[in-house]
Structure 1
Amino acid sequence: MQITGLTNFQKDLLKTSKAVPKEMPKIMRKVGTKARSVVAKRARSDVKKLTGNYHKSWKRGKVFIGNEGAMVVRVYNSSPHAHLIEDGHRQVTKDGQEVGFVRGKRVLEKGMVEFDSSGVAGDMISDWVDELLEQNKL
């Protein structure tokens, strides 16, 4: 996810501040929760068929440091058949004969593209930096 909308001044403040490491996981959890809600909404619109607890199983993971040193939060579906809806699956009869293939819906991918293009994350982080400035933590 690319964060746009931050000014150069705000980026410099984030790099030099000592309060950011303590406060950053809080805003990342909020951004992750917002991303989860966007993806879940997309799933409800794309997957009309009620398949177990698929729609109820969208979750936001913990905040952690990724490979490139950036803070990352995951959005995932904990339902055991989510990968079948996401990636697609073979259709077989009871005899084991393949009848066809059901294409994947790619709900998570489409939902994250929708969330990235909306600019909500950048706005949330920009507001957070402004709030830190007002509280004199930066």
Structure 2
Amino acid sequence: MLDLATRKMPREIRQFMRAEGTKLRRMTVSTARRETKKRTGSYIKGIKRGKVYLYEGDTLAIRVYNSSPHAHLIEDGHRQVTKDGRAVGFVRGKRVFKKAQQAFESEFANDCLEFVDELLDKGLR
């Protein structure tokens, strides 16, 4: 059924994926605001939604990523170093994207079911 929908209504499917990517981006930004303490803004502003692309040849996907150069340090953690290069500790990662992904999974599944019902109503029968 999904192959039929992809052939008959590719624009609607891409629009749906973009809308879901935007929802995930908003959820990621709210999670990042909740988890991080510093409010400089460059980390939050760096959270972006990518384009819809084919994943593994036949599955449509969309990414939410952070383009800030220090995003991986906040996400994964880093060594805390003094000015003379001596390591004094380790800062644990916030795992913002993982938390947002887990919170978004059920909402995405519900949105997919609603989208399939909408496609059936439009006339894919």
The reply to whether TM is greater than 0.5 is: yes
Q: Aligned to 1:75, which of 64, 79, 83?
A: 64
Q: Alpha carbon RMSD of aligned pairs, Å? A: 1.8
Determine the structure 1 residue equivalent to 2:31: 42
**CA shift for structure 1 position 122:** 1.9
Cα distance between partner residues in 1 of 2:4 and 2:45: 40
Gaps of 5+ in 2: none
Q: Aligned to 2:98, which of 100, 105, 109?
A: 109
Cα distance between partner residues in 2 of 1:80 and 1:50: 16
Aligned pairs, number: 124
Determine the structure 1 residue equivalent to 2:109: 122
Cα distance between partner residues in 1 of 2:4 and 2:58: 16
SS in 1 for 2:61: strand
User: What fraction of aligned residue pairs are identical, expressed as a percent?
Assistant: 49
Cα distance between partner residues in 2 of 1:68 and 1:16: 16
> Which structure exhibits the higher relative contact order, with contacts defined as CA atoms closer than 8 Å and separated by 6 or more residues?
1
Per-residue Cα deviation, 1:21-48 (whole angstroms, up to 9, x for no partner): 3321111111111111111111111112
Cα distance between partner residues in 2 of 1:83 and 1:51: 16
- Checking the alignment, whether the CA contact within 8 Å between 1:14 and 1:20 is kept in structure 2 is no
Determine the structure 2 residue equivalent to 1:55: 44
Q: TM-score scaled to structure 2, two decimals?
A: 0.87
Whether 1:95 and 2:84 are equivalent positions in the alignment is: yes
